[in-house]
Chains A and B, each alone.
Chain A
Amino acid sequence: MRRYVVNQLRDKVIPALERISGKAFDEDRLREMLARSARAEDDLVHVLESAKHRPSPIDAYFGGVYYIGPIFTAFRGTEDAVDYYRVLREEVDARVREGRGPVTPDGELRQERYRVVVEGPPNWTSFREFWKMFSDEGAVVVASTYTKVGGVYDQGFRHDPERPLETLADYCMGCYTNLNLPTRVDLLSKYVSEYSADGFLINSVKSCNSFSAGQLMILREVEKRTGRPGGFVESDLVDPRYFSASNIKNRLESYFQMIDQKRLAGASR
């Protein structure tokens, strides 16, 4: 598989890019960028894993998309990205030392009441409203799969300047949405236990089948493996018509109250 992708890069992608850009492929420059990328990846993983603390200093879904933004888009392999992740890491470390919770649109979260893992993309059209439904309830997302669509660095992958094309091939094949369903179930179950989550939620969107296909199977399997309750809400990434605030709020509230009830039942047993 790796050789197949490497061949594609060498025989198709690189010549096409050289032709369009008028610049020759510079492997040394690629190696430098890969090395810088790996440094930024170290800090990104450190930031994402800070959510293992109680309280979590970050929200790893709503906040998480800001943390993955630079590396997943225009700044991969740049000095700017290296700087950004160093500053971010320092800030997050300070929050951990001070025992502070994540920043939300309404300021710092005072009390962490629920820790959840979220699977699926966010709803971009009502992002703030959706986030608020979590933060109002004191729910913090401690791990998410959406923040792994640009690489599952927390599972050990790093860009390797010694093997430039091979490492790019590994990256492409290892992105979350290129993982098969059993691997996704493994990853989610691992997150639920490693991040001491009360449960996990799926935001099932209409416009991205790379995520949505198989989510109900994932829900049942992760529930079975972890014994933690799974929740299911439906919206969309891009189409505002699919976002029904009252319907989603109803499901989220029901889900959090279900966790409460389970805690209560667990305590009285």
Chain B
Amino acid sequence: MKLEYSVGIDLGSTTTKAVVLDGGARILGRGITNSRSNYDVACQIALDEALIHTRFSLIRRHLDAGDADALLVAFERLFRARQYASQLRALDATLRELATDGVGGLLDGVLAEMQAEIGALYAADGQRKSDFFRDLAGSRYMELAEQQARGIPGAFDRLAGLFDKAILVVENSSDAVGTFEEHVRGALGDLPAPRADLQRAVDAVLGFELLQIGSVGTGYGRQRLPFPEGQIRSEILCHGLGAHHMFPRTRTVLDIGGQDTKAIQVDAQGVVTSFQMNDRCAAGCGRYLGYIADEMNLGLHELGGIASRSTRRVKINSTCTVFAGAELRERLSLGERREDILAGLHRAIILRAMSLLARSGGVEEEFTFTGGVARNQEAVRALARLIAENYGERTINISPDSIYTGALGAALFGWRDAQRRAEVPV
């Protein structure tokens, strides 16, 4: 059986996202990966991930048991654990291939421990700070390498250097992650008790041939996408359309991505009517927060939570990424609390976005916030407050899937193009 789909790929400066739509323009799957230095691989992996998610959606459609949702969540965890194990095996092999100077014994210790931890990492209560193998394996590897190398001069640096080389090989190889069929069958066997209905659903979905009939690429790296020119759209149009699709009453969209901030106005059909974005200086964009997180030795996802505990926000004057570290250290040396500084930094970013919003025409109606920074609760809180102060109370929409807005818009353009091609006989 064939299933026709359209895909949109948003190749951002930090992450690459893919969204897969079915013939009725309903979302079937989403995939995300870090953009790394190889855009072609990033696109391929984002698409592969979206197609995996698509197959899980299709499996869900074939299940009608009362516990189907919970079953699928548990099943997908088992699947992800197998994927992780597969990548870890590839990492293991690559590390050993690259290791030449007698660190093999230390690697044994690190990798055995990582192997033993997979079950707990993907347990129902497992804490995973990231969805990307590079981050998950990398942070644990470094911790374990530090333990193993304790007391041996130069050993940690050698282990860390090895990882940096090996991870590039692993994340740029599509073989490392293994196939959907291999892992889904393995995961069926890992279930605590066999489920015939799930088995049937998996078999049915494995029988589907997924056929791409429409595709559009967008994003910062869109010129580098392996797509023909006619299938590339500006991310501004894609964000506008994606936000319109998620929240049809949207008239203003703010997107804060890795190195762009865009304020977009759309009409009732999701057509962009005006937009403004930052000039070449990427001050106050997502990258700024990433830099601050690095400076503070925190995960990007932890910043908002810490900032929201602030009781006395510090006034930050600069959103310049180059000066961010200096400003941060100065504030810390003056005895300011970490959460108060972070709250000030979040407000500073949003103030910069507010000026772009004003330039683009302000906020008249429903407002949708997209991009990676929309996942940060403190950024959202600062934005809501400043919008209320400047424009009055407005509905602010934030989808948990906001990071996929551009890819969704691209997928919708791809779907429309496919519809038009179907209408016009060639």
Chain A residues near B (Cβ < 8 Å): 216, 220, 223, 229-230, 232, 234, 242-244, 246-247, 250-251, 253-254, 257-258, 261-262, 265
In the complex, what's the smallest C-beta–C-beta distance from A134 to chain B, in angstroms? 16
Q: Decide: A251 and B237 in contact? CB cutoff 8 A.
A: no
**B174 near A: Cβ within 8 Å?**
no
Return the 4 tightest CB-CB contacts between A and B, nearest first. A244-B280, A254-B234, A254-B236, A234-B279
Q: Decide: A254 and B275 in contact? CB cutoff 8 A.
A: yes
Residue in chain A with minimal CB distance to B278: A247
Also in contact, A257 and B361, with CB within 8 A (given A234-B279, A242-B279, A265-B269)? no
CA distance A126 to B236 in the complex (A): 24
Known: A216-B359, A232-B359, A247-B278. 12 other contacts (CB 8 A): A229-B273, A234-B280, A243-B280, A244-B279, A246-B220, A250-B260, A254-B272, A254-B275, A257-B237, A258-B236, A258-B271, A261-B237
Q: Decide: A261 and B271 in contact? CB cutoff 8 A.
A: yes
In the complex, what's the smallest C-beta–C-beta distance from B359 to chain A, in angstroms? 6
Q: Decide: A230 and B274 in contact? CB cutoff 8 A.
A: yes
In the complex, what's the smallest C-beta–C-beta distance from B219 to chain A, in angstroms? 10
B279: which A residues are within 8 A, CB to CB?
234, 242, 244, 247
Interface residues of B in 199-241 (CB under 8 A from A): 220, 233-237
Interface residues of B in 251-280 (CB under 8 A from A): 260, 267, 269, 271-280
Q: Decide: A261 and B359 in contact? CB cutoff 8 A.
A: no
In the complex, what's the smallest C-beta–C-beta distance from B410 to chain A, in angstroms? 12
In the complex, what's the smallest C-beta–C-beta distance from A10 to chain B, in angstroms? 45
B235: which A residues are within 8 A, CB to CB?
250, 254
Residue in chain A with minimal CB distance to B420: A264
B269: which A residues are within 8 A, CB to CB?
265
Interface residues of B in 10-54 (CB under 8 A from A): none
Q: Decide: B234 and A253 in contact? CB cutoff 8 A.
A: yes
Interface size class of B (residues with CB under 8 A): 20 to 34
What sequence of 0s and 1s flags, for each residue 135-150 of chain B, a beta carbon within 8 Å of any chain A beta carbon? 0000000000000000
B233: which A residues are within 8 A, CB to CB?
257
Main SS at interface, chain A: helix
Q: Decide: A258 and B280 in contact? CB cutoff 8 A.
A: no
Interface residues of B in 145-182 (CB under 8 A from A): none
Q: Decide: B274 and A254 in contact? CB cutoff 8 A.
A: no
* 9 contacting pairs across A/B (C-beta < 8 A): A232-B359, A234-B279, A242-B279, A244-B280, A250-B260, A251-B275, A251-B277, A254-B272, A265-B267
Residue from B235, B236, B361 having most chain A Cβ neighbours under 10 A: B236
B267: which A residues are within 8 A, CB to CB?
265
Also in contact, A262 and B280, with CB within 8 A (given A216-B359, A257-B233, A257-B234)? no
A232: which B residues are within 8 A, CB to CB?
276, 359
Q: Decide: A223 and B274 in contact? CB cutoff 8 A.
A: yes
CA distance A258 to B239 in the complex (A): 12
CA distance A167 to B154 in the complex (A): 82
Q: Which of A220, A242, A247 contacts B361 (CB 8 A)?
A: A220
CA distance A262 to B267 in the complex (A): 10
CA distance A257 to B237 in the complex (A): 8
B274: which A residues are within 8 A, CB to CB?
223, 229-230
Residue in chain A with minimal CB distance to B264: A254
Q: Which of A220, A247, A253 contacts B280 (CB 8 A)?
A: A247
Residue in chain B with minimal CB distance to A260: B237
A244: which B residues are within 8 A, CB to CB?
279-280
Q: Decide: A262 and B237 in contact? CB cutoff 8 A.
A: no
Residue in chain A with minimal CB distance to B234: A254
A229: which B residues are within 8 A, CB to CB?
273-274
B272: which A residues are within 8 A, CB to CB?
254, 258, 261
CA distance A247 to B275 in the complex (A): 13
A247: which B residues are within 8 A, CB to CB?
277-280
Q: Decide: B359 and A254 in contact? CB cutoff 8 A.
A: no
In the complex, what's the smallest C-beta–C-beta distance from A12 to chain B, in angstroms? 41
CA distance A150 to B216 in the complex (A): 46
A258: which B residues are within 8 A, CB to CB?
234, 236-237, 271-273, 275
In the complex, what's the smallest C-beta–C-beta distance from A186 to chain B, in angstroms? 21
A220: which B residues are within 8 A, CB to CB?
361
Q: Decide: A265 and B359 in contact? CB cutoff 8 A.
A: no
A262: which B residues are within 8 A, CB to CB?
271, 273
CA distance A243 to B279 in the complex (A): 9
CA distance A254 to B262 in the complex (A): 12
Residue in chain B with minimal CB distance to A206: B279
B280: which A residues are within 8 A, CB to CB?
234, 242-244, 247
Residue from B234, B267, B272, B277 having most chain A Cβ neighbours under 10 A: B234
A261: which B residues are within 8 A, CB to CB?
237, 271-272
CA distance A247 to B260 in the complex (A): 9
CA distance A85 to B249 in the complex (A): 55
Residue in chain A with minimal CB distance to B259: A247
What sequence of 0s and 1s flags, for each residue 334-365 of chain B, a beta carbon within 8 Å of any chain A beta carbon? 00000000000000000000000001010000
In the complex, what's the smallest C-beta–C-beta distance from B253 to chain A, in angstroms? 13
CA distance A244 to B220 in the complex (A): 13
In the complex, what's the smallest C-beta–C-beta distance from B214 to chain A, in angstroms? 16
CA distance A243 to B281 in the complex (A): 11
In the complex, what's the smallest C-beta–C-beta distance from A55 to chain B, in angstroms? 22
CA distance A114 to B51 in the complex (A): 38
